[in-house]
A and B are shown apart, each in its own frame.
Chain A
Amino acid sequence: MSTDAQVGIVLVSHSGPVAEAVAELARGLAAGGATAPVAAAGGTRAGGLGTSAELIADAARSVDAGAGIAVLVDLGSAVLTVKAMLAEGDELPDGARLVDAPFVEGAVAALVTASAGGDLDAVAAAASEAYDYRKA
């Protein structure tokens, strides 16, 4: 928390509208000042359902301020594509991390924490803790 740079958040969904809407929801709930950078990478480049490694790489670059990047994902190919990109080593900026978290709740927790100046560990922990909130 010693530097000014904020952790970036990347939201990877099978659907472009879902990723955009969750980013907008998180921005709305994290408001009260400038929020940390958050980018949506949903659907394929052609606008269909699926995952695009290129959109994910672009989104990660756009939120990279040098403080790390928390990547949140929804289903199947979104999970596997990010894991495969991380395994390759040079497809995502240094400091990019796949965070194990529920997509919507985790995105809000991550953005609030990042906007408050939390480091990558704090952002990842906040997003993961969203699993602990039982709804019934």
Chain B
Amino acid sequence: MLDAAFFHRWMTTVTALVDREAERLTELDSAIGDADHGSNLRRGFTAVSAALEKEPQQTPGAVLALAGRQLISTVGGASGPLYGTLLRRTGKALGDAPAVTADELAQALGTGVAAVAQLGGARAGDKTMLDALLPAVDALGTSFAAGREAALAGAEATVPLQARKGRASYLGERSIGHQDPGAASAALLMAALADTEDTAGGAA
């Protein structure tokens, strides 16, 4: 079972990964976006980790709800409301259970991803974070490691796509040939989940 401490570690691990990869994310974003994805997410997740340190939460749902709220209020770019909605809706779907199974998390993340799609009006193939999240959620039913691989493959598969959402869509065909920064950061979120399970010694 995955308890609040596991979810807290997941968020801490994402924070470290985003911090380490912030420059790569911003580099991807400078090709087809406005060159702030890495610094925006770094600011957001740093706030998430600080908030969880200050106000430790007792349930998985509460950890994700607090994280989502922090992202919406601190990121400043579109990734704030999108990731904020993802985590908050996932947290809401988990309810107030003190611990959840891996299957329950996979299902709740599916609800969160659907909320992101609704908020942004995007679909698979639009060259957005959904191109990493949708295959990851499907693969999580198998294992967290499979989710990590699927998200990474999904992010890499955005390279040949033409962007149909956000600022990158204004570039038309010139958006082709660059990896979507949102899909790249979504792959980090899923990688952090698998890493957290690894360090927990297979707690799931």
Which partner residue on chain B sits nearest A43 by CB separation?
B76
Give every chain B residue within 8 A of A50 (Cβ-Cβ): 36, 40, 76-77
B76 pairs with A52, CB closer than 8 A: yes
**Are B77 and A87 neighbours in the complex by a CB distance under 8 Å?**
no
For the complex, is A88 an interface residue (Cβ under 8 Å from B)? yes
When the two chains form their complex, are residues A44 and B72 in contact, meaning their CB atoms are under 8 A apart? no
Interface residue tally for chain B (C-beta within 8 Å): 20
**B78 contacts the other chain (Cβ, under 8 Å)?**
yes
- Chain B contact surface mostly: helix
Tell me the chain B residues, 45-92 only, with Cβ under 8 Å from chain A: 69, 72-73, 76-82, 84-85, 88
B88 touches A76 (CB 8 A): no
Total A-B residue pairs with C-beta atoms closer than 8 Å?
A: 49
| List of A residues within 8 angstroms of B69 by Cβ | 88
Contact of A76 among B40, B73, B85, B167 (CB under 8 A): B167
Most chain B Cβ neighbours within 10 Å, of A84, A87, A88: A84
Residues of B within 8 A of A48 (CB): 76
Decide: B85 and A84 in contact? CB cutoff 8 A.
Answer: yes
CB of B119 within 8 A of chain A?
yes
- Across-interface contacts of A44 in B (CB, < 8 A): 76
Pick the contact of A77 from B78, B85, B88 — CB < 8 Å?
B78
Q: In the docked arrangement, what's the CA distance between A76 and B120, Å? A: 9
Chain B minimum-CB-distance residue to A53: B73
Of the A-B pairs whose beta carbons lie under 8 Å apart in the complex, a sample of 18, sorted by A's number, is A44-B76, A49-B34, A50-B36, A51-B76, A52-B76, A53-B73, A53-B80, A54-B73, A76-B78, A76-B167, A80-B120, A81-B81, A83-B81, A83-B119, A84-B81, A87-B85, A88-B69, A88-B72
